[in-house]
A = this chain, B = another copy of it.
Amino acid sequence: MSELVGPVHVVGAGLLGTSVGLAARRAGLEVWLTDHNHEHVRTASGLGAGVPAPAEGAAQLTVVAVPPDHIAEVVVEALERGGVVTDVGSVKSLPLEQIADHAEEKLLACYVGSHPMAGSERSGPLAGTAALFDGRPWAITPHTHSSAGAIALVEALALLCGAEPVRLSPVEHDRAVARTSHLPHLLAVLTAGQLAEAQPEHLLLSGQGVRDVTRIAGGDPDLWGQILRSNHAAVGEILRDVQDDLARLVNALASSDPDRLGEILTRGVTGTRAIPGKHGGPALATASVYVSVPDEPGQLARLFADVGEIGVNVEDFYIDHDPARPVGLVELVVQDTAAESLRGSLETRKWLTHR
């Protein structure tokens, strides 16, 4: 049962469902598509993500990729049709409870929750791509009654999609995303909320920092509301911790002892360094080269063409896009051992660089 041979039934042909379909088709599996929005099924089929699901028959594996509030209901229906069932929702404990309440006990062995850590700013089947999961973590969250065969089949799906399975219990998963995803979202929302009431002339002083911090707060409130409410226990727990942290911060700021504030700031630095780097390993030692680039068409092209010819791999880059600069500052993040030679080579090519 652990060999994934199909058919794979994707329920919910949005970004994630369509991407799973495309990846499974790439591997040569038969893929069935269902969505309450028939237009989505047509679009996803047109992209080559599978065919409309037949009226009868059970797939080997059903992948439920519907909005959070509907996951439990759709998983139960799928379990009743037969085969192994997973879902790709952002929260795992509450749906599991709801599924356990409504599904026959003998069917529960066939359910294994999962959660691919893939981009969510885009939505809909047109945004789908077989490459969406390449190299991404994909949390696999078996419950105590999940069968070994079902777990293996869901891991096989993650591997087939090019992802890296990370096995966690549903409770551990929900605590992890409360910290790495839901808390950052909510603190971005609170930061942005304070801008909503600012005087417009005060906002003229906005720099890159506030833009970075608040970017994700622009996410869809309906979807985020569903995610957060379904993880309210873990999110509530960490928010109460943050209430304590915030109270300590307020006191430290009012205190005459600079070390109290310094400790809090230093703990923040430690936290930024704890985030794993590329390939899930320890953060790569990188260095930044800053380059002045005129804000005109073609100049970025010239810069990246030169960087490409120099042969250095750019790990990351940022452009500073504060108001009205005719010259933008591009930060190229490269392996630290490559930074000095990149800088020299760019200077040779008449770029103005800064450390």
Contacts and interface: CB of A to CB of B under 8 A. Distances in A.
B258 A229 contact: yes
A92 to B, nearest CB: 12
Contact of A278 (B128, B217, B270, B324): B324
Nearest to A115: B205
A55 interface: no
Contacts of A245: 190, 193-194
B187 A275 contact: no
A27 interface: no
A279 B328 CA distance: 13
Interface in A241-268: 241-243, 245-247, 249-250, 253-254, 258, 261-262, 264-268
Interface in A96-147: 117, 119, 121-122, 124, 126-129, 131, 134-137, 139
Contact of A214 (B121, B210, B258, B271): B271
Interface of A: 117, 119, 121-122, 124, 126-129, 131, 134-137, 139, 164, 166, 168, 172-173, 175-177, 179-181, 183-196, 198-219, 221-222, 224-225, 228-229, 232, 235-236, 238-243, 245-247, 249-250, 253-254, 258, 261-262, 264-280, 288, 290, 292, 295-309, 311-317, 319-327, 329, 331, 352, 354-355
21 contacts: A122-B354, A129-B292, A131-B325, A173-B205, A176-B205, A181-B210, A187-B191, A190-B268, A192-B268, A192-B269, A193-B264, A193-B267, A194-B238, A194-B241, A195-B272, A203-B275, A214-B275, A229-B253, A236-B254, A278-B323, A301-B305
